Structure 1
């Protein structure tokens, strides 16, 4: 099980924090309310009744506990020496009228934003948490991918169909991991086997995963806020492989049709690799040969130095974006960390671009014409997603800064143990052990990345989300 620590800001700082979080939401450049027209469209949308009935297949969903916007459902079975993987995706394209008020509202948002004091959804809850969500024991239209895998986990056949499904179980990561660890039966019983094979496929492709520990702001039922830090569960990595496999299949179909939108990321350049090699050497775990993905996979996640290395490696995973194409293939088609062409196509309730990827993929698989609305709107999608990613990043980082500051405000003047996880000139980023916060500060000359030091908290301003530390 992952290490999980939760730290709650003292009550004296909670009201100031709540005010700052509300101001952050108001300051965010994103619409927070839906128009009456968009709400009316969502309330009237019912979706189709597909001709293909797959309700006899025991699909299940797997998400964080409490999730209601359920985009994906899976069903896994053995097939000879290989496997059949069915992956159903919420049929959002059938609920949203292109060019309508709901479509325009979604384009203005780009993605669901997860704020500490509530979500700012891509679609109204009547769709994202009800009619289009793959909730258990409900008939739902879905776009169902069927993959044939051989004994090594390689995809040998793919098809995509619109179908009626009925999920049997709403699973969560912690519960499923506990069932698997205890040897209890689960709809996800084959997921470790298939997930590990797909991870081997990733390694053979030359892919790389960063897998930094999660740092989440949570809001408790009593209205207090806290920071939880944990390592992802193995089941999360295995489940992610189903989504990656689907995204690669969608990319292949769109490249085949020469129409689509890909998620791309450039290969790190020689300078980035040289910098990372020097950083790993300074941290005592040098990367001397082989692919960087293989090096990252070998790191001991229980070694304190690993966090510093993963933080340094984040520079190798920069530059991700989207590229749209229609009639001519783009110059760049690969997502370097995945080491293959890839598209976002598994979260249409929470991410705008997936609606285009799924619509195009379904048309290619069924031999139908790609709708005109796709062609006319496709060039706009990368910029819409870029803007939404900027908002999401700003919201996450500023929220974390605010909650960390609230945790620290009563501790001004106290001294803490810290580890340097990044250095850049005279300044760097340090990780405080307790409470679990990171901060930027001026560093002594001898404080290299990976080293330990004692620091004193000299100031904390909750309204601004700013703290100041000084080395002892």
Structure 2
């Protein structure tokens, strides 16, 4: 599944699309600008003074090219037969005054939203892209996780501390993957080795990774819009394992302390597994043995039928939510896809709940009282995150729908070919190759997942993000 990009080229369609996207953002009550009092507080607040100085450690960040809101920095080294992994997280709890203006605005927003015409950040850019961001070659306060791993990549010990750090390099995924493929030495040299060991640890736990192709609406310098679909690079999967390891450590700290907030997901029931089995059989890629996570890891990413299989598997990854506890651990604390208790703890610049998790974990790790502001407001978080998640999903889906309608507008009245991904009664989810569009359409009787069908494009409404087809 190589990278593909489909452009909206017509100037008239570009103008209509830009208006539709602006109206969509306004309908979600997701303002780009921050109130004056929020900006003033963000500019004036002094961070909490770090207790450790770790500036001699050459941390590095790894993000999409051009990123400015850098939440994490890492340092990897060998330690005998094992490894030491340091994972520094932006010290947002040290910058945000509890119950202040920045805090109140962040609770209203919940998370950073990603629109086609720009990001709608959780925090003012003076914090998220400057003072709190782990940018290269500047001193920054951070919350540093230090992990000791054995030769098989299992965590034998860990701790969390507040420290002053200095990142030495801002890496991006594409160039770092290319550098690793060439065998060059650098800050990420050990990442493939440690990442592979952590993936094996995931397999042993019974965890599963979906790794669907990324689908993103991008805006070029010339103002044209496009939908870009890319398969995650190996370096992204290795890097994600560091974040997963940190989230599991955060969950264990909070469970031991008897207070916190977890990210949970129920294990799929037997009916969901049976449905998925039938879908894989219909696609000619049957899941016949082993755990579903192990089956997903065997799929060939260059096989054209892998995408329909992964789309079908997405139904197994539903029901994720947040659960809080204070005094008694939740009955079901496991995130089923990770196959372990887990918490969001590595993206505080972009996600509200991480600030609470980090504040609680720092107190537990250093033997201090849990901040009263964090403890007393825990129960608000699931609702705040659910609402912001709803806005994010709505914005993402509606944005893609509008752009896909713009892509299909020149094809109204013509016949196209599409691959059936998933049947939904007498309709189906379909994938069009050129332009790269996913849609819902009626399909001929007897169609099965993986079949190629011919459809006529009847209508494309950019403002509504709707496309109509007929067999």
TM surpasses 0.5: yes
Whether contact under 8 Å (2:443, 2:453) holds in the other structure is: no
Q: Partner residue of 2:147?
A: 147
Whether contact under 8 Å (1:96, 1:102) holds in the other structure is: yes
Whether contact under 8 Å (2:444, 2:453) holds in the other structure is: no
After TM superposition, give the deviation of residue 32 of structure 1 in Å: 3.7
- Matched residue SS, 1:299: coil
How well do the aligned residues superpose, as a CA RMSD in angstroms? 0.9
- Matched residue SS, 2:335: coil
Q: Partner residue of 1:8?
A: 7
- Matched residue SS, 1:302: coil
Alpha-carbon deviations, 1:17-49, whole Å to 9, x = none?
A: 000000001101334432221111101023133
Q: Partner residue of 1:257?
A: 257
Q: Partner residue of 1:167?
A: 167
Whether contact under 8 Å (2:113, 2:119) holds in the other structure is: yes
Alpha-carbon deviations, 1:128-177, whole Å to 9, x = none?
A: 00000000001000000000000000000101000000000000000100
Alpha-carbon deviations, 1:376-419, whole Å to 9, x = none?
A: 10000011001111000000000000111111111111222210
Alignment of 1:434 with 2:457, yes or no, is: no
The 5 A counterparts of 1:65-464 are: 65-464=65-464
Whether contact under 8 Å (2:308, 2:450) holds in the other structure is: yes
The 5 A counterparts of 1:29-48 are: 29-48=29-48
Q: Aligned partners of 1:40 and 1:348: how far apart in 2? A: 20
Q: Aligned partners of 1:5 and 1:438: how far apart in 2? A: 13
After TM superposition, give the deviation of residue 283 of structure 1 in Å: 1.1
What stretches of structure 1 of length at least 5 have no aligned partner?
A: none
Q: Aligned partners of 2:20 and 2:249: how far apart in 1? A: 43
Q: Aligned partners of 1:119 and 1:350: how far apart in 2? A: 11
After TM superposition, give the deviation of residue 122 of structure 1 in Å: 0.3
Q: Aligned partners of 2:221 and 2:361: how far apart in 1? A: 42
Q: Aligned partners of 2:432 and 2:403: how far apart in 1? A: 14
Q: Aligned partners of 2:238 and 2:192: how far apart in 1? A: 6
- Matched residue SS, 1:275: helix
Q: Which 4+ runs in 1 deviate beyond 4 A?
A: none
After TM superposition, give the deviation of residue 450 of structure 1 in Å: 1.4
Whether contact under 8 Å (1:31, 1:109) holds in the other structure is: no
Whether contact under 8 Å (1:30, 1:108) holds in the other structure is: no
Whether contact under 8 Å (1:31, 1:108) holds in the other structure is: no
- Matched residue SS, 1:304: coil
Alpha-carbon deviations, 1:91-110, whole Å to 9, x = none?
A: 00000011111100000011
- Matched residue SS, 2:104: helix
Whether contact under 8 Å (1:261, 1:357) holds in the other structure is: yes
Q: Aligned partners of 2:256 and 2:149: how far apart in 1? A: 21
Alpha-carbon deviations, 1:213-261, whole Å to 9, x = none?
A: 1111000111111111111100000000000000000000000001000
Q: Aligned partners of 2:85 and 2:144: how far apart in 1? A: 10
Whether contact under 8 Å (1:203, 1:293) holds in the other structure is: yes
After TM superposition, give the deviation of residue 275 of structure 1 in Å: 0.7
